[in-house]
Structure 1
Amino acid sequence: MKQEDKAKIKAKQTFPLTIKRIGINGEGVGYFKRQVVFVPGALPGEEVVVEAVKVHPKFTEGRIKKIRKKSEHRTVPPCSVYDQCGGCQLQHMTYSEQLRAKRDILIQALERYTKVAIDTLEIRPTIGMEEPWFYRNKSQFQVGKQDGMVIAGLYSMNSHKLIDIPNCIVQQPVLNDVLKQVKQILQDFNISIYDEKKNKGAVKTVVVRVGVATGDVQVVIVTAVNELPKKELIAQEIQKRLPHVKSIIHNINPKKTSLIFGEKSVPLAGPEAIEERLGNRRYTLSARAFFQLNPEQTAKLYDEVKRAAQLTGSEKVVDAYCGSGTIGLWIGEGAAEIRGMDVIPESIKDARENAKALKIKAVYEVGTAEQWLPAWLKAGWKPDVVIVDPPRTGCDQKLLDTVKKVKPKRFVYVSCNPSTLAKDIHQLSRLYKIEYIQPVDMFPQTAHVESVALLTLI
């Protein structure tokens, strides 16, 4: 038997572990016999006794059996279902330490995926919130049945067990109130609820969004079938019990997928979109349109984008993955022209309306950046600044290849995933210098890190 085989961790084995850092998913990270061990709920500096839950070839997942030495930054999570739902990962850590940990998560990703010397980079302290609770402007809760009652919440970590969340303390209070009433209406009308295991039933998800500055509320009921049972009665009852709900939408998503929305949306009552306001700008938001989930931090994030873009009034700017145009229109007054694109038609419709309302010169098209950038370049329109705000999967490879050809003077990368940010930056590092990276805490109590990176053409 080889010596390394003897040293392998076995399932259910217990062992002492010192936690070195926080991982990208919020778990504590330690090393036992030179093997990486991830331990949810453990904090840097803690000495814990761990039981191996799952042993993988390159790492082990463990759980805390005992904390021998507790971190000074450990605190009691205020949420009653914190240890079950998995929506938040860091409620057990003081907020000031969360901000430090998120900067460290960003540094870890850069160390892993780039060849840039970290001590040569300007990675700024994380911009946080004064009150890091009740900030989310949208809830997307799966619906299920438990003991004959309609429940709504999130799936427990690494499982398909639905955890009922009657009062989420990171969501705007109005979302909790509206969701409670919608659940009761579905119960009162005995509406068919989707069963994931059997792949049967109607209602899958209830999405509630609020325009925090305007007070507009939208309810979207997502079904696995084409028809929402008793839809007229449901809409009438929502309006009766919740008169502040402005828009009620039925979305159809028959696919077995992790995506919340299907492609077809049908208005049941009120307008198809609600309005939100950031600063002096108003934005139209349809059901599927992307909009940042934390309005207070969104203004700070977009101000960082504006600083990074360094617009003087003469620049041509591309806003890729533009959604409803929020970033481009936030900085648009300083640009000669904004051009944006997104693959969701409703988002582009919103972006055009938003640009018109704000009287900002902008062109928005349905499609991808790799489709439109070469076409604009061929027509003689070359951007000075390209801004991207991609999904967690990062920039499409074709987009990065296109940026390398177009070579804008400044490339501003808004990221919600440090790993894909680092990978994409690495690809551009031969042409671009990383001036700085500014992390912004858009999602307090979670391990998510948003950041703005400024890259300038070498």
Structure 2
Amino acid sequence: MRSKEFRNLVADLVRAGEACEPRCPHARECGGCAYQDRAYAGQVAAKREALERLFTAAGLSEIGYDATTFAVVASPDPYTYRTRMDYVATKGRFGLRARGKFNYIIELSTCHLIPPAAFAAAHAVWVRANELGLPDYNIRSHEGFLRYVVVRRSPDDQLLIAIVTAEGPYAEAAEELARTALAQAGVVGFHWLLNNTRTDLSFGSPLQHWGAATLPMRVGATHLMIGPNTFFQNNVHLLDHLLAAVGEAVGPVASVADLYGGVGTIGMHLAPQVGQVISVEEVAESAALAAQHSVAQGVTNLQAINQDVLSYLRTQAPAAWPVAVVDPPRIGLGPEVCAELLRIAPQRLVYVSCNPITLVEDLRILGAHYRLRHLTGYDMFPHTPHVEVLAVLE
């Protein structure tokens, strides 16, 4: 099954469920939500059935998959869950792309995926940009300046705002936007990021920032910091539940490799229960933040390594650590990383996947020497076809 086929399967199963009145009047056309007009319990049930069909068709029962024990954990709140939203500024509109129509923007006056104050802060920046006469960016003609207004929020509802722009002589205007942003409730910092390519990305090279450079992000008892470009799990309500399950799966061991470790979200959570955490992250900014977090909080048993995961694994001896946690991007581990893990052969693999399709591909390879002991879904993205999966292999 391909990714598009899986998304279509989820869509068909959700649409067959109970209808409800969406909170947002644009929910049926906005690309931010696909299923707000379907009861949330039905969404979770549909994702479970879609995953069950995927795992069964892939033959995962041969390595230990048990459909009778498989479950999908619902988000405690299917609204205001996002830690990041990227709002498009184009054609005189502020909002999100229409579902299936990349060049059409649904203009929003509110958004239920983040708290009202977070949306209001981002919207206030866009309104001020219009007052200053800053031209929106046109993704067809590649003319204009302001591309995105990005808002990141913490569990404590502190906010970090960023504008993503093309090049332009607007330094004074950017400073005025910073003043507007920092005057909004909860905003601790404002960034100006440059994306001067034709690629439509809501990330960019840092040009300048005002206020705090990073956003404090509390995760359970751990306090992390993230920047405007930092990857971070996007469900503020469900992250602690997922981390608790990862911690239980890892257990009290002498050492654990935290591969694709990011800013240390998983590694810092595991540090109190293990002898040593080796956090490996290719993105230099994230690896540096992981190191800063360990120093700032007195965590002496976390080593942050800025290196590509495959390169790092190739330097490791067999049985280098008893447990490895992997949290790869959507492309999954891939055959080469899987081959190195099979060579090193940790006793246990704890796999956090944001893409069930690539997870299945990797499990087929790892199943040569591992048995699947646990598999659980997590609905990190309510109202969308996306679903996270935690797999534990021995």
In structure 2, C-alpha distance between the alignment counterparts of 1:401 and 1:118, rounded to whole Å: 17
Matched, 1:127 2:109: no
The answer to whether the aligner puts 1:81 opposite 2:26 as a matched pair is: yes
Q: Larger deviation: 170-179 or 184-193?
A: 170-179
Q: Pick one of 83, 89, 107 that aligns with 1:137.
A: 83
What is the CA-CA distance between 1:113 and the residue it aligns to?
3.4
Deviations 1:356-376 (A, max 9, x none): 23322111122211111232x
Residues 331 and 119 of structure 1: is their aligned pair in 2 closer, same or farther, counting only changes over 3 Å? closer
Q: Taking structure 2 as the reference length, what is the TM-score of the superposition?
A: 0.91
CA contact (8 A) 1:27 1:42 kept: no
* SS of aligned partner of 1:372: helix
Q: Give the structure 2 partner of residue 204 of structure 1.
A: 147
Q: SS in structure 2 opposite 1:266?
A: strand
Tell me which of 213, 220, 225 is aligned to 2:167: 225
For residues 231 and 174 of structure 1, the distance between their equivalents in structure 2, rounded to whole angstroms, comes to 21
Matched with 1:56 is none
Q: TM-score, normalised by structure 1?
A: 0.79
Mapped to 1, the partners of 2:98 and 2:40 lie a distance apart of 25
- Pairing of 1:284-363 with structure 2 (within 5 A): 284-310=225-251, 312=252, 314-360=253-299, 361-363=301-303
Gaps (5+ residues) in structure 2? none
Give a deviation string over 1:75-100, Cα, whole Å, max 9, x none: 23222111211222222322212111
> Cα distance 1:226–1:411, how it changes in 2: closer, same or farther (>3 A)?
farther
Give the distance between the partners of 2:24 and 2:180, measured in 1 at CA.
30
Q: Does 1:426 align with 2:370?
A: no
Distance 2:13 2:107 in 1: 21
Q: Which residue of 2 aligns with 1:90?
A: 35
- The alignment yields a C-alpha RMSD, in angstroms, of 2.3
One-letter code aligned to 1:382 = A
Q: What amino acid does structure 2 have at the position aligned with 1:192?
A: P
- Structure 1 distance, partners of 2:109, 2:190, is 21
In structure 1, what is the Cα distance between the partners aligned to 2:267 and 2:309? 14
Does 2:6 correspond to 1:24? yes
Deviation digits for residues 365-401 of structure 1 (CA, Å, limit 9, x no counterpart): 22211111232x25x9812111111112212432212
Q: Which residue of 1 aligns with 2:49?
A: 104
For the pair shown, the structure with the greater C-alpha radius of gyration is 1
Which of the two has greater strand per residue?
Answer: 1
1:63 maps to none
> Partner residue of 1:186?
129
Seen in structure 2, the aligned counterparts of structure 1 residues 244 and 79 have a Cα distance that, compared at 3 Å, is closer
Letter in 1 for 2:328: P
Q: How many residues align?
A: 388
Q: Residue 4 of structure 1 aligns with which residue?
A: none
Offset at residue 204 of structure 1 (A): 0.9
Counterparts of 1:452 and 1:443, CA distance in 2:
15
Aligned-partner SS, 1:448: coil
Residue in structure 1 matched with residue 15 of structure 2 by the alignment: 42
The equivalent of 1:11 in structure 2 is none
- 2:123 alignment partner, SS class: helix
Q: Which digits, 9 at most, give the CA deviation of each residue in 1:61-85, with x for residues without a partner?
A: xxxxxxxxxx5x2223222111211
**For the residues of structure 1 that align with 2:74 and 2:149, how far apart are their CA atoms?**
29
In structure 2, distance between residues paired with 1:153 and 1:90:
15
| Alpha-carbon separation, structure 2, partners of 1:74 and 1:80 | 15
Q: State the AA in 2 paired with 1:384.
A: P
Verify: 1:446 aligned to 2:384, yes or no. yes
Structure 1 unaligned segments of length 5 or more: list them. Answer: 1-21, 30-38, 44-70
**Closer/same/farther in 2, CA of residues 173 and 371 from structure 1, 3 Å limit:** same
Question: How far apart are 1:285 and its partner, in Å?
Answer: 0.8
Residue 42 of structure 1 aligns to which amino acid in structure 2? Answer: R
1:111 Cα deviation (Å)?
A: 2.9
**What residue number does 2:223 align with?**
282
Q: Which moved further from structure 2: 394-403 or 174-183?
A: 394-403
Equivalent residue number for residue 272 of structure 1: 213
Structure 2 letter corresponding to 1:365: I
Change (3 A) 1:397 1:143: farther
SS class of match (1:295)? coil
Deviation (angstroms), 1:337: 0.8
Measured in 2, the distance between the counterparts of 1:114 and 1:435 equals 15
Structure of greater relative contact order (alpha carbons < 8 Å, 6+ residues apart): 2
Matched, 1:244 2:186: yes
Greater shift in the superposed pair: 129-138 or 331-340: 129-138
Structure 2: which amino acid aligns with 1:417? N
Inter-partner Cα distance in structure 2 for 1:411 and 1:227: 51
Question: Could you say if the C-alpha distance between residues 120 and 414 of structure 1 is closer, same or farther in structure 2, counting changes exceeding 3 Å?
Answer: closer
Q: Distance in 2 between matches of 1:285 and 1:261?
A: 14
1:112–1:368 Cα change, 3 Å: farther
Whole-Å Cα distance in 2 between the matches of residues 190 and 212 of structure 1? Answer: 34
Instruction: Report deviation, 1:346.
Output: 1.2
Quote how far apart the aligned CAs of 1:228 are. 4.5
**Are residues 396 and 158 of structure 1, via their aligned partners in 2, closer, same or farther at CA, if it must alter by over 3 Å?**
farther
